Structure 1
Amino acid sequence: MRMRMRRGHHRAALLAALLSIAVATGPAPASGDPGPGGSGEVRQEGVVRGGSGPVPGAAVTVYEAGTRFGDRPRRLGGARTDDRGRFRVAYSPPRDPGAVVYVTADARPADGGAGGRARTTPPVRFAAVLTGAAGGPGRRLGVTERTTVAAGFALAQFTRDGGFAGPWPGPRNAASVAHNLADVTTGGVSPILAAPPNGGQTSTLRAFNSLADALAACTARARDCAQLFEAARVPGGELPRDTLQAVADIARAPGTRPGAVFALARRRPVYTPALDAAPTAWTLALRYEGNGREFDGPGNIAFDRAGDAWVVNNYVWARDPRDPACGGRELLRIRPDGRDAPGAPYPGGGLYGAGYGVAIDRSGDVWAANFGFQGRGCALDPDPLFRSVSQFDPRGRALSPPQGWRQGDFVQPQGLATGRDGTVWVANCGNRSVTRIPRGRPGRAENIPVGDGKLVKPFGVALDGRGRAWVTGNGSDSVAVFGPEGNLERTVTGGGLRRPMGIAADSRGNQWVSNSGGVRVPCEDDTSQDLADSAGPAGGPTADGASVILLDPDGSTPEASFTTGSLLLPWGIAVDGADTVWVADFSGQRVTRLCGVRTEACPPGHRTGQPISPASAGYGFDGLVRNTGVQVDPSGNVWLTNNWELVPLQTNPGGRQLVVFVGLAAPVRTPLIGLPRPL
């Protein structure tokens, strides 16, 4: 998914100025000729267009986003549009090459109204993100409702009072995602959103255009602005002041008043194709497939400090799912905008058929657990291949030998987590044990067996603030708690634990466990066919015991587990920077959001464990298949792994994409080591 660059015939000084405002991972922003202030000043040209045509008299401003929450964006330059909506702004670019630069255009609705109340500022605010935009010298901007929706969603977690501010790398990465929704050189739909695996294959393009239609209604008529702001208001929050803030508020609370927003979109339909019915929530999700020949059963994700996604793959990619696929042998690394990182994917290190286990340690090294997944008909014997973990440095170079690190008696390892002292913990699904690698030194790895049926099919691992490891037992309906030195402190049972899968800590040291209710993990004597049989048909009835439970830091269980109609077959689980809880579903093509222990971060009146997403549907998306891993990145995007197809052929059941819900969660500082921390 590479963006094309048009070559210009301008001076080298101009190119240096352009590069000074490009993000480190993307092409230069669209800028024009040197301005009258000399070679260090650039001149940006463009046009502001609403659904009804050019917007004259709009106040256009170029800003540099603030670098901390609460900062005021820095004004770089401004101008007004002429009677054809055209503008030209001369400004000096920021010195920081990672700065986020964007344009706003403020205008009153075409009917001249004030938007529902006395205002000193216009209610219509268009926006377009310059940083990372495609195009080269001389390319003009198209600032439209579509670019406004793109900016508002991608930077939703960094938007306050109609401007952008937040710490690195959140806004920078979010800016690159904005360009996957809208093309700021034309003001239209981005090629990423317009084409497979997005485009007509999912509902996102139609939802995106419908949101732009809702803004177009406000651009045309002040009364519709007032209705838009009321529909967009976050529960318990203030009324948005302008359309950009309204978009960001919809992104952060997408299930609040979906019908009211849709009614506005139908009032002035301009952009096509659009939705023909109101969604249950206004989410925008993108599918990423890297180079198109690498994803085959992605199992889980770990984000590094810069927000790149490191992904483990169950299988070797094959075009035809009827062809037997052996275990995946490459570690994937995906930029925030869905492109492969340079040199990725990375082979070697004994990697083979990794499943749910991937984590990044304090040095930036990436660890993967070699479960040994392979499709039916693969001619390889997996036994010698599922007895190791692999280690890669931050550049993707294998540090483990060709057979992987084997000290520690690994057997079909699954979940994996790293501690603040560098210790690595691995759940051995195949031999009822946990392996501890002190300070990340494989030669000192020790195996910790758990007998008496207290930990059968160890699967997920999470650490708390004291360095203890919490490990789910899928086959024993239990969670085992290990002290920092590896001693088994206790085994937790009851409280609703039933076929548990993922586990995630919140900032207060509580542990959240996703109970599948029925998934039989394919280790010990169970096979992938047993997993398929236990999962049942996609979208089937809720599994008996499907739920989420909360364990206190002392390991005590609640009187009852948390259930909701959107939890059909819970698998992966993650906690965001506001301690709200995200649950991936292996059956229902959805992700569920639950209120965490910090109820002040939830809608008013919500209790811990109560769904924030629609209770019966969650945040659904027709581009999801069967999902295992879910993680939150530093921009507030929620990533899920399309792990298995809806109808999985056991020769090669793997799904082919990552799915990213844009701007939906509170950002998390990465890598995730121990307890989650807000950005």
Structure 2
Amino acid sequence: MLMNRSVLLLISAALAAVPAAGAAEPDTASPAGAVRQDGKVRQDGTVRQDGTVRSGDSAVSRAEVVLYQAGQERGAPATVLGRARSDAEGRFTLSYRQPRERKAVLYLLADAGGRHKPVRLAAVLDGTRRTPQRVVVNERTTVAAAYAMAQFTDGRDIAGTYPGLQNAAATARNLADVTTGKVAAVLASPPNGSETSTLRAFNSLANTLAGCVAGKTCEELFHLARPAGGERPDNTFRAALDIAHNPGRHVGGLYRLSLRERPYTPALTAAPDAWTLALRYDADGRTLDGPGNIAFDAHGNAWVANNYIYDPDPTEPTCGGDYVVKLTPTGENAPGSPYRGGGLYGAGYGITLDPKGNVWVGNFGFQGAGCPLDPDPLYRSVSQFRRDGMPLSPPTGWRYGDIMQPQGTVSDRRGTIWIANCGNRSVTRVPHGRPDHARNIASPSGGLVKPFSVAIDTRGRASVTGNGSDNVLRLSPQGDPLGYVSGGGISAPMGTASDSVGNVWVANSGLVDIPCGGTGVLPPEGGALDPRDGAAEASVTLIRPDGTTPRRPYERGGLFLPWGIAVDGDDNVWVSNFGGQRVAHLCGARPENCPSGHRTGDPISPAATGYTSDGLARNTAVQIDPSGNVWLTNNWQTIPLQTNPGGHELVVFVGLAAPVRTPLLGTPRT
């Protein structure tokens, strides 16, 4: 059925501009013909782009279609490459000259709906100049563009730097297939597909736009999508962006709106907690087993510390992982990954990249019940790898500095590596990444019990959580003890992270007892970590630059059993939970970057539940990539067997956070 132009008419405010924030770092120009281009190249050097604008099975006729090249720095305007108008069957053809930049990001906007054009559909083509010959622009490609490019879009302009912009464009292709307008293979297949609710939520979001495209629900859509204290959107793409930026707002109303027009199935049968989209990545499906933490390199690739050797059978005893995994920004195993050697064994929470791009991993010695190996000689080192995966440490790992059961392992901006020795109440400092110069720093009076995580603040000071002592030890940039911080709600602390204004944030588990200190390396058992029960003292503590804390910690936003913590490019705070299948999002130290009316510590995610996903299991780490995606590690199965309790996926909430420059060296930078 063809869509009549009159059906698309609707009273709306002024013509909308759909913005983009973020920019791609320009690459050197390539000679003509040196880069693959899947579109039809004509004799005059122009490229022909064919496509169709659709809504479900219906054509969208007389849509004004514009092809843009995204701006290459934050706030830069996009460049118009070509224009066309869709015919009665929704088809269009346009011509353009191929951009000289090798990693140019191209995207299409299609405006329809009469004088005020409340209908704007979008499709991101790619960030590698492999644009498809034929494309479909519909509600699915629009939702994919809005979520993946959420941190780079302003009005009709999309802009950003490398690698965040390019990786975001590639992530959009994991949600929607622009060649068909259907769900992309990554979203449609395990470990996604029918195994989680994300596919159904994605289709429901597309359905919320479909009612407006049909000329029926635009006013309701624009009212519900309007941010608190913000401007009302006046087109469907802007509305999708506003929902992506504020996924916990008017959830029920948007769900009811999604039931009005339902061209896309399967869809949700009940309202979600929030309109987030979480993808699961499992590399090649036979590598990840107990991913403990993530560190991103300069290109946005994810390096993953793996607790165990992969085995899909939880009843089969497994030993400590002897490889580090590298995933591309879109979740595939990178060439050559996983990488072995260098003394790697049973990595836990410790993984970092130094300024040279080398990867450092702490060998905690995790292994499952029944593993015949003696972990004692294996958990006294860190391993170092070159950026290509070649081990730089010897087969026994770097053992200088009295390392014992290392957990948190981080680099500062000078390349000094800081290691929290969970097993001997100390910290090892490796100046400028030179292992033979490593020095062990004993905690004063032995008062730091089970050191777990390290964060470097704006002054180069290290803050180390004491999981067994309910405190944080602060060290000078040279490693001199500066004293302990306790109180402020610090309780069985786990992860810690710094922000750009000098604060340190601590995730308080309230009850997790890390198995170290010579007491064994098996994970704790028992009802205390039942994922159905949160911790009464679950909270987040803010430590100010002078070492003081607010009188009370922050306790809302979905804090359940906090473990990992990260700060994004807006200085807002993200917390993973070792239970409850949720991630918490709190307003950070710069409330001007939070939704209207929020103060430091206020929950941005739904106060009672956080952002939930049935794709989550028991999560340890949370990290932010250069595209603004929020990555979590499914470290344990929800109901684990101690022989092999490890989870097998990373979970990525698409476009939720302000991007962070990587590798993360000390405090976050945009």
Fold match by TM threshold 0.5:
yes
Using the TM superposition, give the Cα deviation of residue 633 of structure 1 relative to its aligned residue in structure 2, in angstroms.
Answer: 0.5
Decide whether aligned partners of structure 1 residues 534 and 565 sit closer, same or farther in structure 2, where only a CA change above 3 A counts: farther
Quote the offset at 1:232 in angstroms.
Answer: 1.4
Q: Establish whether residue 591 from structure 1 lines up as the match of residue 583 from structure 2.
A: yes
CA distance in 1, matches of 2:128, 2:197: 24
Give me the whole-angstrom Cα distance separating, in 1, the residues matched to 2:554 and 2:225.
Answer: 28
Aligned residue identity for 1:175:
A
1:516 aligns with 2:521: no
Aligned residue in 1 for 2:543:
551
TM-score, scaled relative to structure 2: 0.93
Q: Does 1:577 pair with 2:584?
A: no
Matches within 5 A, 1:159-238: 159-221=153-215, 224-238=217-231
Name the CA shift for 1:615/1:526 in 2 (closer, same or farther; >3 Å): farther
In the TM superposition, what whole-angstrom CA distance separates every residue of 1:384-414 from its partner, at most 9, and x where no partner exists? 1100001111111111111110011110000
Q: How far apart are residue 650 of structure 1 and its match?
A: 0.5
2: CA distance between counterparts of 1:178 and 1:668?
A: 19
Query: Which secondary structure does the structure 1 equivalent of 2:161 belong to?
Result: coil
Cα shift at 1:569:
0.6
Are 1:610 and 2:605 counterparts?
no
From 50, 56, 62, the equivalent of 1:51 is: 56
Aligned to 2:285: 292
**Aligned counterpart, 1:9:** none
The 5-angstrom pairing of residues 28-43 of structure 1 reads 30-31=38-39, 33-35=40-42, 38=44, 40-43=45-48
- Choose which of 99, 120, 141 in structure 2 pairs with 1:125: 120
Q: Structure 2 counterpart of 1:458, which letter? A: P
Structure 2: stretches of 5+ with no match in the other structure: 1-29
Between 1:457-466 and 1:139-148, the stretch displaced more is 139-148
1:653 aligns with 2:645: yes
* Paired position in structure 2 for 1:382: 375
The answer (yes or no) to whether the contact 2:128–2:166 under 8 Å persists in 1 is no
Question: How many Å separate the matches in 2 of 1:97 and 1:68?
Answer: 15
| Aligned CA distance change for structure 1 residues 148 and 173 (closer, same or farther; 3 Å) | same
Aligned partners of 1:520 and 1:534 also within 8 Å? no
Please give the secondary structure, in 2, of the residue aligned with 1:46. Answer: strand
Q: Which residue identity does 1:646 align to in structure 2? A: T
Report the CA distance between 1:451 and its aligned residue: 4.5
Task: Quote how far apart the aligned CAs of 1:228 are.
Answer: 1.2
Conserved? CA contact 1:147–1:182, under 8 Å: yes
Letter in 2 for 1:391: Q
Correspondent of 1:251 among 239, 244, 247: 244
Is residue 500 of structure 2 the alignment partner of residue 493 of structure 1? no
Secondary structure at the aligned position of 2:41 is classed as coil
Match of 1:279 in 2: 272
- The DSSP-based 3-state class of the residue aligned with 2:194 is helix
Question: What is the Cα deviation at residue 533 of structure 1?
Answer: 2.4
**For residue 257 of structure 1, what is the amino acid of its counterpart?**
H
Tell me the residue number matched to 1:153: 147
**CA deviations over 1:295-331 (Å, ceiling 9, x no partner):** 0000000111111111100000012111111111111
Contact 2:557–2:602 (Cα < 8 Å) also in 1? no
- The residue aligned with 2:79 is 74
Q: Secondary structure at the match of 1:350?
A: coil
In structure 2, the partner of 1:448 is 441
**What secondary structure, in the 3-state scheme, does the structure 2 residue paired with 1:362 have?**
coil
RMSD value, Cα: 1.7
Residue 91 (structure 1) aligned with residue 85 (structure 2): no
Distance in 2 (CA, whole Å) between partners of 1:265 and 1:350 is 53
Amino acid at match of 2:564: G
Counterpart CA distance in 1 for 2:460 and 2:557 is 35
The one-character-per-residue Cα deviations of 1:312-354 (angstroms, maximum 9, x if unpaired) are 0000001211111111111111111111112111111111111
Matched with 1:394 is 387
Could you tell me how far apart the structure 1 residues matched to 2:391 and 2:373 are? 22
**CA distance in structure 2 between the aligned counterparts of 1:265 and 1:216, rounded to whole angstroms:** 8
Q: Deviations over 1:460-512 (max 9, x none)?
A: 10001211110000000010001111111111111111100000001111000
- Say if 1:315 and 1:374, in contact at 8 Å, map to a contact too: yes
2:657 matched residue in structure 1: 665
Do the aligned residues in 2 keep the contact of 1:17 with 1:42 (CA within 8 Å)? no
CA contact (8 A) 1:133 1:184 kept: no
How far is the alpha carbon of 1:200 from its aligned partner?
0.2
1:19 & 1:170 partners in 2: Cα distance?
A: 24
Stretches of structure 1 that go unaligned for 5 or more consecutive residues are 1-14, 21-27
Kept in 2: contact 1:51–1:219 (CA 8 A): no
**Partner-residue secondary structure (3-state), 1:460:** strand
Cα deviation per residue 1:502-535 (whole Å; 9 max; x = unaligned)?
A: 0000111100000000001011254566623264
How far, CA to CA, are the matches of 1:441 and 1:579 in structure 2? 31
- Which residue is 1:373 aligned to? 366
- The letter for the 1-side match of 2:173 is H
- Measured after TM superposition, the shift of residue 132 of structure 1 is 5.2
1:627 has 2:619 as partner: yes
> Secondary structure of the residue that 1:531 maps to in structure 2?
coil
Partner of 2:336: 343
| Cα distance in structure 1, aligned partners of 2:642 and 2:478 | 40
Residue 105 of structure 1 aligns with which residue? 110
CA-to-aligned-CA distance 1:30-60 (integer Å, 9 cap, x gap)? 52x2236x1x311011111113501111111
Aligned residue identity for 2:41: P
Quote how far apart the aligned CAs of 1:127 are. Answer: 1.1
Deviations 1:212-254 (A, max 9, x none): 0011001001x51122122112222222232112112111110
Higher mean alpha-carbon deviation, 514-523 vs 232-241, is at 232-241
Counterparts of 1:512 and 1:525, CA distance in 2: 28
Count of residues in Structure 1 that have an aligned counterpart in Structure 2: 641
Per the alignment, residue 24 of structure 1 pairs with none
Aligned residue for 1:212, secondary structure, equals: helix
2:472 aligned residue: 479
Residue 355 of structure 2 is matched in structure 1 by 362
Cα distance change on mapping 1:19 and 1:586 into 2, 3 Å: farther
Q: How many Å separate the matches in 2 of 1:165 and 1:185?
A: 23
- Note if 1:465 corresponds to 2:470: no
Superposed, 1:527-546 pairs within 5 Å as 527=520, 531-533=524-526, 535-540=528-533, 542-546=534-538
Q: What amino acid maps onto 2:562 in structure 1?
A: P
2:65 to 60, 64, 73: 60
Overall identity of the aligned pairs, in %:
58
Amino acid aligned to 2:637: E
Q: CA 1:237–1:200 in structure 2 vs 1: closer, same or farther (change >3 Å)?
A: same
Superposed CA deviations along residues 135-194 of structure 1, whole A, max 9, x for unmatched, are 887x42111110111111100111111331112111100011000000111010001111
433-442 or 251-260, which deviates more: 251-260
Contact 1:52–1:220 under 8 Å retained in 2: no
Summarize the Cα distance change of 1:252–1:565 in structure 2 as closer, same or farther, 3 Å threshold: closer
Contact kept in structure 1, 2:563 and 2:578, CA below 8 Å: yes
Q: Please tell me whether the aligned partners of residues 455 and 479 of structure 1 are also in contact (alpha carbons under 8 angstroms).
A: yes
Q: Deviations over 1:559-584 (max 9, x none)?
A: 11111262111000000011110000
Once residues 280 and 33 of structure 2 are traced to their aligned partners in structure 1, the CA distance between those partners, rounded to angstroms, is 30
1:77 Cα shift? 0.6
SS at match of 1:394: coil
Residue of structure 1 equivalent to 2:3: none
- 1:529, 1:565 → 2: CA distance? 31
